[in-house]
Structure 1
Amino acid sequence: MPTPEIHLYTASTMNGWKPIIFLEEAKVEYELTYIDFGKKEQKSEWYMRLNPNGRIPTIVDRSNDDFVVFESGAILWYLAEKYQTFLPIGEKARSEALQWLMFQMSGVGPMMGQAMYFQRIAAPKGNEDPYAIDRYVTESRRLLEVLDKQLAGKAYLLGDNFTIVDIATYPWARSYPWAKVSIEGLDNLRNWFDRIDARPATQKAVTIPKPFPAFFGKGDEATSEAENASRF
């Protein structure tokens, strides 16, 4: 069997699942190296030679002189251009895709990530901060409302076709139960979740390297919270 072109270094997080979703949906063979946060492998010397920020995910494209790409949004854009899929055609459509990708990277991910951190990591460790929790939960809800409005009359965030914008946004927005953010009244968003929940490749992807169903409102929440907090 030939060596896969893409070597992916990742873990089971919202950002970590993004390239896995792409590769599974695009049916691209890849080699996966699991990065163990418990062992702080993301801060190891060998890994930081690939990714100086010491975060996941990172890819190495063996077919392109071992070219390294880090940052999940940049990885998705690189893969979409390489494999010519899940990216719209045309200058304006590409710009729209980039805008919504940046919206996820700069807004949805960071704000929901902080909502999760203060409720699921800081609070269980005895550092509960009601002001921070309210700030990030409220802002996360506002951003989900923006997504709900964008989805009005659309199957996916850019229209009829599934793109890297959906791939980037889904793991974060779908983890609203873990962030303890209400989606009450956001019917367009809920319908979008249902569509992607029904995509076998995406659902397979979020079990790799290992599943974490509590992120998506399933499974033993208390045990999962303790396990997650222990990694930080």
Structure 2
Amino acid sequence: MAIDLYYWATPNGHKITIFLEEAGLEYNLKPINIMKGDQFKPEFLKIAPNNRIPAIVDHDPIDGGEPISIFESGAILFYLAQKIGKFIPSEIRGNTEVLQWLMWQMGGLGPMMGQANHFVRYAPEPIEYAERRYLKETRRLFGVMEKRLNDRAYLVGEYSIADMACYPWTKADASLEVDTEQEFPHVYQWQQTIGDRAAVIKAYEIGDRVRSNTKLDDQARKNLFGDRQK
């Protein structure tokens, strides 16, 4: 039976479509339009109590039991990789290394770039300190990746869920005044390698279709950043 993917075209959403396309798993795409407030609907909150995408329901879970729902993109990637035995090493050292970089993205790269993006693009008025703080941290994190990729094609050994988790966030670099090609050439080469993969191209095409004909109006701002978040 298929996997239900509750999705919107954000970096965290792209992580899961990339994995599912890479793995060739059957899935039902269930768009959650976060600009219209779909993330607050009771039926979605039963699956994702943090009112954030992505989330999945696996109707054929690893243990063979009842369907299992999972929220948090990192947890979803880890679960799916364990389910099919791909994109994460089975031996303890490689497995732990992939988890380290997955957690690094979840705790650092994603949140810091998300805050930078918010204060640079969406804050109702400029807050110079916040912009400088998060842009500086974004550059530091890109520097960490640059050193890591100095002598390797991927973050950990072969292509893994660590790369799938980090890539969509680094795609946002242009809006954050990061010239990856000039400043972080190893990250740039890694971006090109992953971005050329057929599954990644398809994942972004799916996102473009889902997100078409949406705009950030006042109601969308309230749904994304306003009182409904409380």
The TM tier, using the shorter chain, reads 0.7 to 0.9
1:155 to 153, 162, 181: 153
C-alpha RMSD of the superposition: 1.9
1:27 to 24, 27, 32: 24
Distance 1:37 1:194, change over 3 A: same
After superposition, what is the alpha-carbon deviation per residue over 1:11-65, rounded to whole angstroms, capped at 9, x for unaligned? 0000011110000011111001000112201011111011110000000001131
Distance 1:228 1:171, change over 3 A: farther
Q: Which residue of 2 aligns with 1:208?
A: 206
Q: Would you say how many aligned residue pairs link Structure 1 and Structure 2?
A: 214
Q: Which residue of 1 aligns with 2:5?
A: 8
After superposition, what is the alpha-carbon deviation per residue over 1:115-147, rounded to whole angstroms, capped at 9, x for unaligned? 10011111xx3x111110011001000000100
Q: Structure 1: how far apart are the matches of 2:47 and 2:154?
A: 33
1:193 to 164, 188, 191: 191
Q: Which residue of 2 aligns with 1:112?
A: 113
Please say if residues 116 and 176 of structure 2, whose CA atoms lie closer than 8 Å, have aligned partners that are also in contact: yes
Report the 3-state secondary structure (helix = DSSP H, G, I; strand = E; otherwise coil) of the residue aligned with 2:143. Answer: helix
Q: Structure 2: how far apart are the matches of 1:81 and 1:135?
A: 37
Please say if residues 2 and 58 of structure 2, whose CA atoms lie closer than 8 Å, have aligned partners that are also in contact: yes
Please say if residues 8 and 210 of structure 2, whose CA atoms lie closer than 8 Å, have aligned partners that are also in contact: no
Distance 1:135 1:108, change over 3 A: same
Deviation at 1:5, TM superposition (A): 2.2
Deviation at 1:185, TM superposition (A): 2.6
Please say if residues 17 and 208 of structure 1, whose CA atoms lie closer than 8 Å, have aligned partners that are also in contact: no
Share of identical aligned residues, percent?
41
Deviation at 1:212, TM superposition (A): 9.2
Task: With the length of structure 2 as denominator, give the TM-score of the two structures.
Answer: 0.88
Q: Which residue of 2 aligns with 1:133?
A: 131
Q: Structure 2: how far apart are the matches of 1:210 and 1:185?
A: 28
Distance 1:209 1:95, change over 3 A: same
Deviation at 1:210, TM superposition (A): 2.6
After superposition, what is the alpha-carbon deviation per residue over 1:120-176, rounded to whole angstroms, capped at 9, x for unaligned? 111xx3x111110011001000000100111111111112x1100000000001210
Mapped pair 1:37 → 2:25: no
Q: Which residue of 2 aligns with 1:221?
A: none
Distance 1:177 1:228, change over 3 A: farther
Please say if residues 11 and 36 of structure 1, whose CA atoms lie closer than 8 Å, have aligned partners that are also in contact: yes
Distance 1:110 1:32, change over 3 A: same
Please say if residues 35 and 216 of structure 2, whose CA atoms lie closer than 8 Å, have aligned partners that are also in contact: no
Mapped pair 1:52 → 2:53: no
Q: Structure 2: how far apart are the matches of 1:111 and 1:75?
A: 21
1:177 to 174, 179, 186: 174
Q: Structure 1: how far apart are the matches of 2:183 and 2:217?
A: 31
Gap runs ≥5 in structure 1: 214-223
Moved more, 174-183 or 61-70: 174-183
Q: Which residue of 2 aligns with 1:227?
A: 215
Task: With the length of structure 1 as denominator, give the TM-score of the two structures.
Answer: 0.87
Q: Which residue of 1 aligns with 2:140?
A: 142
Equivalent position amino acid for 1:85 in 2: K
